[in-house]
């Protein structure tokens, strides 16, 4: 019989609080590696299906299949850099010149005074005040975080760090899952497996689905832009793909820029007035938005990360304040994961079923060797 004394409730609370405080301190102390580590996790999520495919179809060891996936990624990135980047850089440079023309045109338009009920409204002054206030709010958030992200991406050391960490996250995924599962008390392993599976599905759907969606949207907008004669169609198509990582907000940003481009520049070949061309662009974008919400997102990303627009917008603002650009990109899956955890906590607080069949898809039994199905012939 075990005579070892048990910790009291007060001792458990004190130790738990100390561990939380230590974790917060370590996150603050080593915050410089937080962004590279998040990028490594994202890369691992994206490449895992490719590694699984190579391992299952070709019968390769996990490490060799992972190495082959990275070689394929390197070839794809090299091809894009050689084939598309020169044209894209040229269009982005031309678009920058036209943006300056937009600003000049907007300033001229706002320079007029409007008289309403005997009151004089100086739109230019109001615009400058609003722009200054907005810049004062957003500059600390985006300036510091975007600078950090650029340093991470451009630094060779950080690039090597991202690739090495993501490589081992994929290669040793089975051991990591096994190790974390063994940390959970046996009576809670079933709940842990269900939560891990559901949250993992959310993040995998978001990363891989969002990347696929961005690629589809970039190609779609580029082709439609070429058909309509939208200036700088390649740059605007790539921009639309990137803005898909900002749910609910990205569509509005692209539409504003495209509308200004259509109004001040017009179509490259359609013989219509600029304002008519702008209405055509707006109308087609409204149609696409319904197609995106009702067809593309449910089928490519799934409904597990599909949140109400207001929740997404609030999450994006909160993420921007807390973590800058990274917080914006990860707002949607973080909120969806918090919804899963919140449902579990709420159900346990009120003695309800935390995993109703209407919400959770069928999951593996308790403590399974689940990776044997994913990584047949696994060699650790």
Q: What is the pLDDT of residues 24-47, one digit of tens each?
A: 898 888 877 888 888 888 888 888
Sign of the alpha-carbon dihedral angle for 243, 244, 250, 256: positive
Cα–Cα nearest to 319, from 345, 338, 304: 338
Helix (H) or strand (E) holding 120: strand 119-122
Instruction: Tell me the C-alpha distance between 74 and 90, whole Å.
Output: 24
Joined together, the tokens standing for residue 296 give 């593309």
DSSP state letters, 10-58: HHHHHHHHHHHHHHHHHHHHTGGGHHHHHHHHHHHHHHHHHHHHHHHHH
185: number of Cβ within 10 Å = 7
Q: How far is CA 306 from CA 43, 143, 155, 311, in A?
A: 22, 29, 35, 10
Query: End-to-end distance of the chain based on CA atoms, in angstroms?
Result: 36
Q: What is the pLDDT of residues 237-255, one digit of tens each?
A: 888 888 887 766 778 888 8
Q: How far is CA 255 from CA 129, 227, 270, 291, in A?
A: 24, 17, 19, 15
**Cα angle: 171, vertex 177, 183; to 5 degrees:** 140
What stretches of the chain show up as alpha helix (H) in DSSP?
9-29, 34-58, 62-83, 85-110, 123-138, 144-154, 156-171, 173-183, 189-228, 233-243, 249-264, 274-291, 297-300, 309-329, 331-349, 371-374
3-class DSSP assignment, residue 75: helix
pLDDT of residue 210: 81
pLDDT of residue 18: 93
Backbone angles phi, psi at 119, to 5 degrees: -100, 140
Q: How far is CA 4 from CA 1, 7, 164, 348, in A?
A: 9, 10, 43, 30
Joined together, the tokens standing for residue 250 give 């990205």
Q: How many residues does the chain have?
A: 380
Low-confidence ranges of the chain (pLDDT < 50): 134, 137-138, 141-142, 145, 358-380
pLDDT of residue 21: 93
DSSP state letters, 257-295: HHHHHHHHT--SS--S-HHHHHHHHHHHHHHHHHHIIII
Cα–Cα nearest to 260, from 134, 37, 105, 123: 105
pLDDT of residue 360: 43
Q: Enumerate the β-bridge partners of residue 115.
A: 120
Instruction: Tell me the C-alpha distance between 241 and 230, whole Å.
Output: 16
Q: Enumerate the β-bridge partners of residue 122.
A: 113
């Amino acid at each position: 019989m075990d005579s070892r004394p048990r910790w009291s409730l007060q001792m458990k609370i004190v130790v738990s609080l100390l561990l939380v405080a230590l974790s917060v301190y370590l996150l603050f102390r080593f915050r410089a590696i937080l962004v590279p580590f998040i990028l490594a996790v994202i890369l691992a999520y994206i490449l895992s299906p490719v590694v699984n495919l190579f391992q299952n179809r070709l019968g390769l060891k996990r490490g060799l299949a992972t190495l082959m996936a990275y070689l394929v990624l390197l070839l794809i990135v090299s091809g894009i850099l050689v084939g598309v980047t020169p044209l894209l850089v040229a269009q982005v440079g031309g678009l920058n010149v036209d943006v300056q023309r937009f600003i000049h045109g907007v300033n001229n338009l706002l320079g007029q005074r409007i008289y309403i009920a005997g009151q004089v409204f100086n739109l230019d002054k109001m615009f400058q005040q609003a722009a200054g206030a907005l810049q004062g709010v957003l500059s600390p958030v985006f300036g510091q975080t975007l600078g950090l992200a650029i340093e991470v991406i451009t630094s060779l050391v950080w690039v090597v760090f991202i690739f090495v960490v993501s490589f081992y996250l994929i290669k040793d995924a089975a051991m990591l899952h096994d190790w974390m599962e063994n940390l959970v008390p046996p009576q809670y392993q079933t709940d842990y497996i269900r939560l891990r599976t559901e949250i993992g599905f959310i993040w995998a759907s978001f990363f891989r689905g969002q990347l696929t969606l961005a690629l589809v949207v970039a190609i779609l907008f580029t082709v439609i832009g070429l058909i309509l004669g939208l200036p700088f169609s390649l740059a605007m198509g790539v921009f639309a793909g990137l803005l898909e990582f900002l749910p609910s907000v990205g569509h509005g940003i692209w539409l504003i820029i495209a509308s200004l481009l259509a109004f001040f520049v017009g179509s490259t070949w359609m013989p219509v007035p600029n304002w008519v061309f702008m209405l055509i662009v707006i109308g087609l974008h409204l149609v696409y938005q319904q197609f995106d919400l009702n067809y593309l997102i449910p089928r490519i990303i799934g409904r597990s990360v599909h949140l109400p627009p207001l929740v997404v917008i609030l999450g994006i603002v909160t993420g921007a304040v807390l973590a800058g650009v990274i917080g914006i990109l990860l707002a949607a899956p973080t909120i969806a994961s918090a919804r899963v955890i919140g449902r579990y906590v709420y159900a346990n607080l009120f003695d309800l079923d935390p995993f109703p069949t209407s919400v959770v898809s069928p999951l593996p039994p308790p403590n399974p060797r689940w990776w044997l199905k994913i990584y047949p012939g696994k060699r650790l």
